[in-house]
């Protein structure tokens, strides 16, 4: 029975990735053809850095700067909006896959599923948050899932959203820097088929989801949080350690701690 289930899981993995890839070909054309300005918000060029180490662990960081009114950014610089930012990421994943991929919630876990459970693509622990006046971090630790190879099950892999802000030289304007990071992730498709298969499918899907997510931020279209746990910045600990974009330059591959 166990052997049969592994076969079914493998087939589901292939079907899901092919189906989502076909859907996103159309979505990608629409997204990438849109202007980089949304109202008074300008979206900078999306930077994509994806590497795989000798053991098969993936480190992928997508980064971009959004130029926006300082007052508008100040209004959303709260833990409540950080929670909504996290929820917005998952909402766009569902939207851009036309509902094929959905996110289900429990008190302690988040499940990315193909239509519904038991087809769990990725299972995460509930998110951890850190925030101060200049930076906010949300991290989901990876537990298991059809898309996770054996070395990555209940290991130290995670998905992280890291946002930071600073004033620009233009009066009344600020820069919101956004990093979306996947670290220490062992993709099953790379382990089962080949690394190029991951690069051509899952990796591309994540880049497109990130770009759509950035446009949602620019529009101010943030989803309502499912939990609403935090109200004030003082409710959270401050982020520590370098940001994803700075870790390589600092010679430090360790993530910023976000336990809380």
User: How do residues 222-231 score in pLDDT, each as one tens digit?
Assistant: 888 766 666 5
Residue 46: partners with Cβ closer than 8 Å, 6 or more residues away: 62, 63, 64, 207, 210, 211, 214
- 24 or 159: which carries more pLDDT confidence? 159
Q: What is the pLDDT of residue 187?
A: 83
Percent of the chain having pLDDT more than 90? 33
User: How do residues 118-154 score in pLDDT, each as one tens digit?
Assistant: 789 899 999 999 999 999 999 999 999 988 888 888 8
Q: What is the mean pLDDT of residues 228-238?
A: 69
What SS3 state is found at 9?
Answer: helix
Q: What is the pLDDT of residue 11?
A: 58
Q: What is the pLDDT of residue 188?
A: 76
Q: What is the pLDDT of residue 54?
A: 86
Q: What is the pLDDT of residue 71?
A: 94
Contact 126, 109 (CB under 8 A): yes
DSSP category for residue 235: G
Q: What is the pLDDT of residue 69?
A: 94
Q: For 18-27, 88-97, 143-152, 186-195, which range has the lowest pLDDT when averaged over its residues?
A: 18-27
Percent of the chain having pLDDT more than 70? 72
Closest CA to 131 of 244, 257, 237: 237
Q: What is the pLDDT of residue 7?
A: 54
As a whole number of angstroms, the distance between CA 78 and CA 8 comes to 44
User: How do residues 147-196 score in pLDDT, each as one tens digit?
Assistant: 888 888 888 999 999 999 998 878 899 999 999 999 998 887 655 555 65
44-53 per-residue burial string, b: 16 or more CB within 10 A, e: under 16: bebebebebe
- pLDDT above 50 (res 38): yes
According to DSSP, the residues that pair with 122 across neighbouring strands are 112
Q: For 11-25, 60-74, 176-190, which range has the lowest pLDDT when averaged over its residues?
A: 11-25
Residue 85, CA distances (Å) to 139, 221, 225 in order? 12, 9, 8
Q: Is the dihedral of CA 80, 244, 249, 168 positive or negative?
A: negative
As a whole number of angstroms, the distance between CA 257 and CA 238 comes to 9
């Amino acid at each position: 029975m166990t052997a049969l289930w592994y076969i079914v899981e493998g087939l589901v993995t292939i079907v899901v990735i092919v189906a989502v890839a076909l859907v996103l070909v159309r979505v990608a054309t629409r997204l990438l053809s849109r202007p980089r300005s949304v109202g008074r918000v300008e979206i900078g060029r999306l930077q994509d850095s994806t590497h795989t180490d000798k053991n098969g662990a993936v480190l992928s960081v997508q980064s971009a700067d959004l130029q926006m009114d300082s007052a508008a950014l100040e209004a959303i610089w709260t833990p409540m909006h950080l929670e909504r930012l996290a929820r917005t990421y998952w909402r766009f994943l569902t939207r851009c896959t036309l509902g094929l991929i959905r996110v289900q919630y429990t008190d302690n876990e988040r499940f990315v599923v193909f239509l519904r459970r038991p087809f769990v693509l990725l299972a995460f622990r509930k998110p951890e948050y850190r925030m101060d006046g200049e930076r906010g971090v949300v991290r989901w630790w990876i537990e298991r899932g059809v898309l996770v190879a054996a070395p990555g099950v209940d290991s130290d892999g995670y998905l992280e959203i890291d946002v930071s802000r600073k004033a620009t030289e233009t009066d009344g304007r600020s820069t919101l820097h956004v990093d979306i990071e996947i670290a220490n992730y062992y993709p099953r498709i790379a382990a089962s088929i080949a690394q190029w298969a991951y690069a051509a499918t899952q990796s591309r899907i994540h880049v497109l989801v990130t770009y759509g997510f950035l446009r949602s931020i620019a529009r101010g279209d943030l989803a309502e949080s499912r939990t609403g746990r935090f109200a004030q910045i003082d409710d959270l600990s401050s982020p520590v350690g370098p940001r994803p974009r700075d870790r390589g330059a600092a010679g430090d591959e360790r993530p910023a701690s976000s336990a809380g």
